[in-house]
Amino acid sequence: MELVTGVNGWAMIPVVMAGAAYAYVLYARNSRLPFSARLKALLFALRMTAVSLIAFLLLSPHLVLRKKIVEKPLILIAQDNSASITAHNGPPEVNGQPLNLFLAGKLAKTADVQLLTFGAEVKEDGEVNFLEQKTDLSELLLTTRNTYFNRNVGALVLLTDGVHNSGIQPEITAASYPFPVYCLALGDTNQYPDLSISDVRYNRLVYHEDNFPVEVSIQALNADGQRLTVELLHESKTLAHEEVTVHGNRFAATKQFRINSSASGRIRITAKVSELPGERLVQNNRQSFFVDVVNQKQRILFYAAAPHPDLGALKAMLNDHYELEQLFASEPLPKAKNFDLIVLHNLPSVGGNLSQLTQLLKEHPEAALLFINGIGTDFVAFNNLQSGLKVFSGDKQQWAEAVPVVNAHFSLFQAENEWQNQASSWPAVDVPLAEVQTSPGFHAFLNQKVNGIQTNNPMIGFMPDAEKPTGYFLGNGFWKWRLADYRQNGNHENFGALVQKTIQLLLVRKDHRRLRIFHEPVVMLNEYVKFRAEVYNQSMMKVNDHELKIRLTHIADGTEYQYVFNQAEDGYSLNAGRLPEGEYRYRAEIQLGEETLLEEGSLLVERSSLENMNLTADHGLLKRIAAATGGKFFEKGQEQQLIESLKENPAITSTATYPKVYDLLINLPWLLVLILGLLAMEWLLRKANGAY
């Protein structure tokens, strides 16, 4: 036990002096009191002590105690809530009771129990409905490790089939997991004959009447000798098909098709493989995707000081989607050609022909611009040529290596999650060591991280609302990002998405709609359907002080869902929650004074194929996780053995801690009794001796 105050020990002097002064005025200076000297001294001491205690309490003294806290062991029971659990059998139960609740009831007497569910994410006390379309075991291990850090966790009981289709390999996380994992294996390890579409590769943007490629990868298990058909369908019409003969019990093949984009707008195409006789799982025999068909290719001019691999990396990502032309500064300007976007690489350059560049820009006043400023750029001329970004590098240019960092506040387009996670590991590019100034309205997408220090200098940014949309890349050597993307993922999708979204942002035409609704065209089942909206008055100023409503209609059954948007800081937002599978049409409406603004569109809620790609339980994975964490493995039907193993584990026990507890001294009742006792004794002595 310890007594502490917020002041040093010298503060006790005025405390005691206050009590003494009060008692002195009351007794020592009052000669008319009919008390003996001994009685006066006693009364003086009683009053001084009581007043000093009261004054001491004004300093807010605390009593420090060691309090014993006993914490029962905590057992986490995590139920796999994904669709694969019930694909072959019903929900896991014991004596008609859900498996996780049965285990919780048996363990509740000896431990605290926390129920968890997991699929793509982890939830405490979540609803068990087996509708999740992804299974991420690594996310479960990471979340529980961080959430229950420094808790007396005895074990994690994992109820799953081991089918893992999202996130990193769980064995990696299990290697450093702090709690033992007891795995109760669910699912069916038998391999049944099955056909599935494992992947579809296609161009998301194609042009009217173009023949564009589609690659369909298929897998076949235990179907040796079977003949099957792979086809592409649009509105029940077969666009292309091919016969395939399966060889072996584990067969995989990729078929390439070229189909014609005769329709316009966003079209839905379905890749389908025929079913085997008696095939148990047919949901993975088809996969839908969407293609945007536009009527005319936009034209892009690459105007460069000299050849450079950065130009090749850009053109490789844009060749299929735009009409491209390349021109060097030493060549004459093209005649009678209109370009939608001009990419200026290292221009204006040191010692270059600035007048020819100026002439090019005058001849294309409506073309968007993309400046790529690398080594050799004349930053003085660059600063005079535009107003969005100014670079002051001094008389002698110096360069440093920088890695990209995504600006969390960027909102002109949504960065792919995979790209954000991997961008920091991509190779560094050369950036100028210079003072960088941006104009109001500049949006930085990537910032520079130099020598491990994140800066506010942009690497990629945009001026979308300038007289002509303008983009900026301040760096040299991003061709290495394309190679790094392929090395990490086996494709160029992340780098391609970065390039495509950059170009699409610059080429987007001015939107004059006063009510604008933004959403993902395809949402996976069990994911949230989210909308964002912007409303403009007649002066095209953004407003958000009126009620915005939206009605969604399920096309197949006519069910309607009505919502009201939330008023956000810069517009409107809506989370419509999870919607049943199917295609929806929506109608948004807002009343501004006497006029009504309307916007209509459609979206698709589609069942993900991840949980249907592989339904064979992976009990080997669960055994490896249990072994890596010091846990144990049990099969369905061994629930009682699991319970006994947990109860008999000597490491799963209560723990006692003795933390310091700070309690205000004024909260102690005996102290109040002491002060009242001193004052009462003083009053009784005074009354007994003829005074009050």
pLDDT in tens, 259-312: 887 777 778 888 999 988 878 778 788 888 878 787 667 889 999 999 999 999
Q: Break the chain into its structural domains and give their ranges.
A: 2-67+661-688, 70-188+616-655, 194-294, 299-502, 515-606
Residue 7 has pLDDT above 90, yes or no: no
Per CATH, 70-188+616-655 and 299-502 having the same topology is answered yes
Quote the tokens at residue 214: 């589609």
Q: What is the mean pLDDT of residues 529-533?
A: 94
Question: pLDDT tens, 624-676?
Answer: 999 999 999 999 999 999 999 999 998 888 877 777 777 777 888 888 888 88
DSSP-assigned beta bridge partners for residue 377: 349
Where would I find the H helices in 98-177? 99-107, 137-147, 170-174
Q: Which two tokens stand for residue 82?
A: 């994904």
Do the bridges between strand 286-294 and strand 205-207 make them parallel or antiparallel, or are there none, so unpaired? parallel
Q: How far apart are the C-alpha atoms of 605 and 583, rounded to whole Å?
A: 6
CATH of the domain spanning 515-606: 2.60.40.1930
Distances (CA, A) of 456 to 390, 403, 430, 442, 450: 14, 13, 16, 12, 11
Q: What is the pLDDT of residues 28-60, one digit of tens each?
A: 776 677 777 788 888 888 888 888 888 888 888
Q: What are the structure tokens assigned to 55, written together?
A: 């004054």
Task: Give per-residue pLDDT as tens, 336-345.
Answer: 678 889 999 9
pLDDT of residue 1: 63
User: Residue 422 — pLDDT band, cuts 50, 70, 90?
Assistant: confident
Supply the pLDDT for residue 369.
94
Q: Please, what is the average pLDDT of the chain?
A: 87
Instruction: Return the pLDDT at 590.
Output: 95
664-669 own/partner pairs: CB under 8 Å, 24+ apart:
664/60, 664/61, 664/62, 664/63, 665/3, 665/57, 665/61, 665/62, 665/63, 666/57, 666/60, 668/63
What confidence tens digit (pLDDT) does each residue in 485-502 have?
888 888 888 888 889 889
Q: Tokens standing for 312?
A: 């090749």
- pLDDT for residue 300: 92
The pLDDT assigned to 472 comes to: 95
What integer pLDDT is reported at residue 511 of this predicted model? 64
At 95 the pLDDT is 87
CATH superfamily ID and name for 194-294: Immunoglobulins (2.60.40.10)
Task: For residue 6, name the pLDDT band (cuts at 50, 70, 90).
Answer: low
pTM value is 0.54
Which overall architecture, per CATH, does domain 299-502 show? 3-Layer(aba) Sandwich (3.40)
Question: What does the pLDDT average to over 516-522?
Answer: 87
Is residue 427 pLDDT above 80, yes or no?
Answer: yes
Tokens representing 320? 């299929």
Share of the chain above pLDDT 70, in %: 96
Task: Classify residue 293 by its DSSP letter.
Answer: E
β-pairing, 153-160 vs 112-118, is: unpaired
Residue 122 confidence (pLDDT): 93
Fold of the 70-188+616-655 domain: Rossmann fold (3.40.50)
Which range among 143-147, 434-438, 489-493, 589-593 shows the weakest confidence by mean pLDDT? Answer: 489-493
How high is the pLDDT of residue 603?
87
Tell me the mean pLDDT in the region 437-446.
91
